[in-house]
Chain A
Amino acid sequence: MSAAAPSKAGLFDCRDSFAATIEALAESDSRIVTVVSDSVGSSKLGGFKKKFPERMVNVGIAEQTLVAVGAGLANGGKVPFVSAASCFITGRALEQVKADIAYSNVNVKLIGQSSGVAYGELGPTHHSIEDLAWLRLFNNLKLIVPADPWQTAEAIKAAAAYDGPVFVRVSRMAVPALDRPAGATFEIGKAETLVEGSDATIIANGTMVHRAVAAAKTLAAEGISARVVNMATVNPLDEAVIAAAAETGAIITVEEHSVRGGLGGAVAEVVISTNPVPMRILGFPGFVPTGSAAWLFDNFGLNETGIADAVRQTIARKR
C-alpha cells in the first residue's frame, strides 16, 4: 500500500495517503468500515465508497451521531474509521468523543481531516487549531499528527492494528516526503529524530516538521546545531526523547495549532516536571484572522525564518 503520488512539485496531500491506506487495509480486514457525515469527498473516500459501498456509513450532517455510531459499530465487532473535518468531529462531537469513545474505551479510529488552518480563508469556525488541546485531556485516546504521506500511511496502519481509541489528525496541506534512513518504522508513542543537534531541539509535528528541518539547515550554516524531532504522537508523548531534548538546553516546539494546550503545552508539562530548560512554543495565539494557510504561517512565524529566529532567541536564554 504505497502512498499516493505527489500532486505537484514533489508535494503531497496526506488525505490521499489516508485514503489509499484505508482501502488497502479494508481489502484484507472485513471488519474495517468507514463512517462519514456527508464528508466522503473531503475525506477522499470516494474510492472506498466505490469498492465497499456497504461498508461506508453516511449519517448525514450530524457529527454527534457520526462519532456515536462509530462506538456502536465497534460494539458490533467492526473497526470503524470515523472521518470528518477535524474542526467538527472534535468540537461539535466533543462529549461523544469523551463518553462514547474515550471513557467507554472502544476500538474506534477518529480521523480529523483538513486540520489546522487548511481552511484558512473560511475563518476560525473552520480552523481546527484547538482540536489537540481538547482531545489531549482524554488520557487513553492516542493522538497522532503525521508529518508526511509515508507517516500518514503508517499511522493509519498502526491505528488499525491497535485495539483501542485513536485520533489521527490528517492534513490536506501540501507537504514534501521527509528524508528518512532506510528501514524507518513508525510506532505509536515513539518520536523520530530527523536532524541531530546539540545546541537546541526543535520539536514539531504535522506540517511544521519539514519547516523545522529547513530552519535547522539555515541554523547549521551559522554554526548552530539544532536537533529536529518529529513528535508525531502527542499522546502518549515520547518522554525519553523529551528528556534528551532538555539536555540540549533549549526546546522550541512548533505546531499548526494554538499555543494553548497543544504539542507545546504537552512537552512543557514534561519539561517543567523533569529538567526545566528555556522553551518557546510556536503556534497560533488564539483565533486568527481569515487568510490563506500560507499567509497565516508566514504572519505567525510558522516558517523557516520564524522557527530559526525562535531557536536563536531561546538559545540566548540558556542559563
Chain B
Amino acid sequence: MPSPAAPLKNNIASDIAAQALWIRRRSFQMVYEAQQGHPGGDFSATDILATLYFGVMRYDPKNPTDPKRDRFVMSKGHCTGAFYSVLARAGYFPEADLTTYMEPLSKLNGHPNRNYLPGVETNTGPLGHGLPVALGIAIAGQIDNADFRTFVLTGDGELQEGSNWEAALTGGHRKLENLTLIIDRNRLQQGARTEETASLDPLDDKWRAFGWHVEVVDGHDHAQLLKVLSASPKGRGKPLCVIANTFKGKGVSFMHDNVAWHHGVPTKEQYEQAMRELV
C-alpha cells in the first residue's frame, strides 16, 4: 500500500478506490462484530475520507500534532467505522486496534476522542460542532499566514443545527480560503429524508449567500472529489463548500439509500452478502 505521506502520482484515483474498498469492508466488519455503529453513514462518507487521506491532505501519522499538518475534523462523529478505518489505514495506529471498536476501555469509542487517539483533532459526537471548531483552526492559520488547510466533513441532516450557520457567517466574513467544508449529502437523516424533515435545498444557494465558493460533485467519484479538493485555495478569497452527493449505504445493494441502515447492524447472512458485494 502506498505511504499516505507520499501518495502515488500515477492513477491515484484507482489507488483511492482500493483504499475505499478496504475501508468499507473493514468498517462493516467492525459494525458486525460490535453489533453497533452507523454503517449507512460510514458508506456514504467513505469515498470522501479515502480521497482526503490518500490523495489530498498533507500529514505525517508519526507526528500527528505537527503544527504544519493539514487538519481534518470529523463533524459527523458517529461515523467512526469509516473514520477509524481510514485513520488506521493511514498509519495513525495499528489496524489490529480496530478489533476493539466499542469495547469497554477501548480507544475506539462510538465517537472519536482526541485524548486517546492520534489523528483526531477535536471530540465530536453531538452534531453541529465540527464546523465551528474547524473555523477556529482556520482562523489560527489565517492569523499566522500559515500554509496548512483545514477540512471538515459534516452530514447533511446535521446542517439543521444552527451552530453551523453561525460559523458559516464568520467563515464567509473572514474570507477563509484555507477552510474547506465537505457536506456528505446523502439526503437521509436518522429518521427520514432531509427534505421531508426540515428541508435544506437549495443548499448550494444557501452557502453562496453566506459568502462561500460552492462545488457540487458526485461524492462517490474519486476523480471529481480529487479535482475540487486538491485545487489550490490560494487567491480564491472564499471558504470552499463541497456538496458531495452521496448515498447512505453506498456499495451494498440492500443498504443503498435505505434509512434503516442509519444505525442498523447486520445479521450474519447480511454481513456475508455485503462482503460478497464489496469486492
Interface residues of A (CB under 8 A from B): 33, 35, 54-55, 57, 59-60, 62, 64-65, 68-78, 80, 95-96, 99-100, 103-106
Contacts and interface: CB of A to CB of B under 8 A. Distances in A.
Contacts of A33: 143
Interface residues of B, number: 33
Interface string B109-142: 0000111000001111110110011111111110
Contacts of B163: 64-65, 68, 96
B143 A72 contact: no
Given A65-B163, A76-B143, 14 more contacts: A57-B139, A60-B173, A65-B166, A68-B167, A71-B122, A72-B132, A72-B140, A73-B136, A73-B137, A75-B71, A75-B140, A99-B129, A103-B113, A104-B123
Contacts of A80: 136
A76 B166 contact: no
24 contacts: A33-B143, A55-B143, A59-B170, A62-B166, A62-B170, A64-B128, A64-B162, A64-B163, A65-B132, A65-B135, A65-B167, A68-B167, A69-B139, A69-B167, A72-B140, A73-B136, A73-B139, A73-B140, A75-B122, A75-B140, A76-B141, A77-B140, A96-B129, A99-B124
A203 to B, nearest CB: 33
A233 B275 CA distance: 56
A80 B124 CA distance: 20
Closest 9 pairs (CB-CB, A-B): A72-B136, A76-B140, A68-B132, A69-B136, A62-B166, A65-B166, A72-B137, A64-B163, A104-B123
A65 B170 contact: yes
Interface of B: 67, 71, 113-115, 121-126, 128-129, 132-141, 143-144, 146, 162-163, 166-167, 169-170, 173
Contacts of B170: 59-60, 62, 65, 69
Contacts of A99: 123-126, 129
Chief secondary structure at chain B's binding surface = helix
A198 to B, nearest CB: 45
A71 B132 CA distance: 9
A97 to B, nearest CB: 11
Nearest to A57: B139
Contacts of B138: 72
B132 A69 contact: yes
A77 B169 contact: no
B139 A72 contact: yes
Contacts of B121: 75
A243 B204 CA distance: 61
A105 B115 contact: yes
Contacts of B67: 76-77
A62 B135 CA distance: 13
Chain B CB within 10 Å — which of A54, A64, A68, A96 has the most?
A68
A99 B71 CA distance: 18
Contacts of B113: 103
Contacts of A73: 136-137, 139-140
Contact of A96 (B115, B132, B135, B137): B132
A104 B114 contact: yes
A100 B140 contact: no
B112 to A, nearest CB: 10
A104 B125 CA distance: 11
Contacts of B133: 68-69, 71-72, 75, 100
A84 B166 CA distance: 16
